[in-house]
Amino acid sequence: MSVSNSLMVVSDARVIVPFASAIAYFIFKTYEPSSPPVVSLLLGVVPTALAVILRRAFSSLTIALLTVPLAYWSLLVAFTVAYRLSPLHPLARYPGPLLCKVSKGWLAYVAGVRGDTHTYVKNLHKLHGDVVRIGPNELSIVHKDVPSVLSAKGLPRGPYYETRIHEAGVSLDGLRDSALHVVRRRPWARGMNTASMKYYEQLIFNTVGDLTSAFKQRMDTGEVVDLSGWMTFFGFDFMGHMAFTHDYGMLKNGRDAEGLYGLIEGALDDAKWISHLPWAIPYLQQVPGASKNWDEMKRVGEATAQRRFELGSQQQDLFHHLIDEDGNEETKPTLDLVAVDGQLAIIAGADTAATTLSHLWYFLLRNPSCLEHLRKEVDGAFPPGEDSSSDLTKQGLMPYLNACINETLRLYPPVLAGLQRRVNAGTGGKMIGPYFVPEQTQVSLFAYAIHRDERFFSPLPDTFWPDRWLSQKKFVLPTGDVVPSEQVVTDRDVFIPFSQGPMVCAGKNVALAEMRAVTCALLQQFDFTIIDSAYLDTWEDKIFEMFTTKRGTLPVHISPRASP
């Protein structure tokens, strides 16, 4: 080849590679393709083909194969970063850390390695205000206008929920199509109506009985118990009875013999970062062993559903409604899909309630005056000799009990992060309060950050102070100061531990009922003494976000309740 030809080929390469890379960038930006064949074509086939075509510009094919793809990918990254940081980006007006603006990988790192997404985002709001750019195309919003995001007229779910896609179908909590969600929610609504709640009340009564019997045994032997771990046993045993008429036997055996909790914790731990990079899910599934815990959980879920199916239709448990044993729906769901939803109930229901109860006991042990106040209320409602778990309706009307539970859910909502919604393409964007959110933007509501904002909960937004939920003319603060009610702000509209709107937690009422019942029964019958105050001092440092909450231990001595 002549010198002039060679120069032409080299200059062709200098034009063609950036041009091809720019086209690929344009396709990624406009269509956000994530299917492996398209991505492999754009990231693998195109640069390799270019290297082969332009090989004469290089000393050998090997050099071409090394140089062209590298240049192509580097340019692609450069275009992407430049656009994301440029004033042309639709979210350019919103502040946020540079790394968040560049890639969602940063939040995936915060979630996956540090596990403190909730405090990280709360601190970002402190620094930047109501709206923070937490990803290239994602905003976190702390604003009173929460309902315009979560209500029926709000926004559909965002890609954060893609991890809930299973072979048999998507579990209810991952459904992003709002119309389909309405259909799939119907059996859940039947499973949570008044008649169903009556059935579950008996199960709560029995499971609370198992818990108190186990504690009595350990009290007699002087064994130290981890209150947090036992709340997990309670949560799983109750959900097993409620969802599948299955006894996990954790309370009776004093351990998780089937290893279910470990399995779920492992699965959540493996996946906690991937929700931020949902496009990576199909690739991760190809990595041997990457979804080992999920696969095992699926197997256990299917086996439990199969066992329950064989029991027949007599039990009025959640499965009865989900599999539609009463024949309400035209099309019955498959057993596999019901297994997926049943599994969801166990994960969503057992761990969240156990986490809330553990936090509540932490706060009560930390604040003996609150514990005594609550115990007085329990004694007033259920005099000695009267079993508190016999009347769950009465518990629903106990102001201080409900204030303590609300206050716990406010400070530590078990779902610490990730109520993500999306402004879909073609909608023209959305106003949230005074803020315009352009199309194709994810909007995340971090309950943890919203609940601790002093515009919505004050005074002392970071302090456990159940009184803020009571209605009274004057309030005595934990500091001893007395303030009139006008100085106390408790904004229930932005209280979202269970979310709000059409996708609000389906198990909210059952969760509240079980948490009230456990709290009353334990206060009525036992005294707990933490074996070392260091466990209380470090409790909050050991809270990690992983969809739900990973928490530490609360080892206590149990003694019989001192006479009232």
Which CB, 260 or 510, lies closer to ligand HEM?
510
In order, the DSSP letters of 267-290 are: HHHHHTTGGGSGGGHHHHTTSTTT
**Least CB distance from residue 510 to ligand HEM, whole Å?**
5
Q: Under a CB-based contact definition with an 8 Å cutoff, are residues 512 and 200 in contact?
A: no
Distance CA 407, CA 282 (A): 40
Q: Is 497 in the site for ligand HEM (CB under 6 A)?
A: yes
Give the range of 73-81, 129-137, 385-393, 491-499 binding ligand HEM by CB under 6 A. 491-499
Residue 229 makes contact with ligand HEM by CB under 6 A: no
DSSP class of 334: P
- Residue 503 as a binder of ligand HEM (CB under 6 A): the answer is yes
510 binding ligand HEM? (CB under 6 A):
yes
Interactions with ligand HEM, residue window 173-192 (CB under 6 A): 173, 185, 188
- For 452, the 3-state DSSP assignment is coil
Residue (of 106, 28, 129, 171) closest to 506 by Cα position? 171
Site string for ligand HEM, 2-41 (x = CB under 6 A): ----------------------------------------
Could you tell me the smallest distance in angstroms from the CB atom of residue 202 to ligand HEM? 15
Q: Which residue is nearest to ligand HEM (CB)?
A: 507
Q: CA 181 to CA 173: how far, in whole Å?
A: 9
The closest alpha carbon to 232, from 539, 499, 554, 560, belongs to: 554
Q: Please, which residues bridge with residue 529 across strands?
A: 557
Comparison of 490 and 499: residue with beta carbon closer to ligand HEM: 499
Q: Which of 453, 465, 451, 457 is nearest to 404 (CA)?
A: 465
Q: H-type helices in 272-413, by residue range?
A: 281-284, 292-311, 318-322, 335-346, 352-366, 368-381, 392-396, 399-411
Q: Does 240 bind ligand HEM (CB under 6 A)?
A: no
The reply on whether position 411 binds ligand HEM by CB under 6 A is no
Which stretch, 3-11, 15-23, 323-331, 412-420, contacts ligand HEM (CB under 6 A)?
Answer: 412-420
Is residue 349 near ligand HEM by the rule CB under 6 A? yes
Q: Segment 441-470, which members bind ligand HEM (CB under 6 A)?
A: none
Report yes or no: 349 and 510 within 8 Å, Cβ to Cβ: yes
Least CB distance to ligand HEM at residue 237 (A) = 13
CA 269 to chain centre: 12
Read off the tokens for 442.
């994810």
100 is in an annotated binding site: no
Q: Which is nearer to ligand HEM, 58 or 236 (CB)?
A: 236
Residue 345 sits in the site that holds ligand HEM (CB under 6 A): yes
What is the SS3 assignment for 455-524? CCEECCCCCCCHHHHCCCCEEECCCCCEEEHHHCEECHHHCCCCCCHHHCCCCHHHHHHHHHHHHHHHHH
Between 135 and 349, name the residue whose CB sits nearer to ligand HEM: 349
Q: Is 75 in the site for ligand HEM (CB under 6 A)?
A: no
Q: Which stretch binds ligand HEM (CB under 6 A): 341-349, 374-382, 391-399, 434-442?
A: 341-349
- The least CB distance from residue 326 to ligand HEM, in Å, is 19
- SS3 of residue 548 by DSSP: strand
Site for ligand HEM contains 169 (CB under 6 A)? no
Quote the least distance from Cβ 498 to ligand HEM, whole Å. 5
Question: Which helix H or strand E contains 73, and what residues bound it?
Answer: helix 61-85
The reply on whether position 172 binds ligand HEM by CB under 6 A is yes
Under the criterion CB under 6 A, does residue 406 sit at the interface with ligand HEM?
no
The one-letter amino acid at 121: V
Instruction: Copy the structure tokens of residue 172.
Output: 């209810």
Binding site for ligand HEM (CB under 6 A): 172-173, 185, 188, 344-345, 348-349, 352-353, 356, 413-415, 419, 497-499, 503, 505-507, 510-511
Residues annotated within a binding site for heme: 505
Residues annotated within a binding site: 505
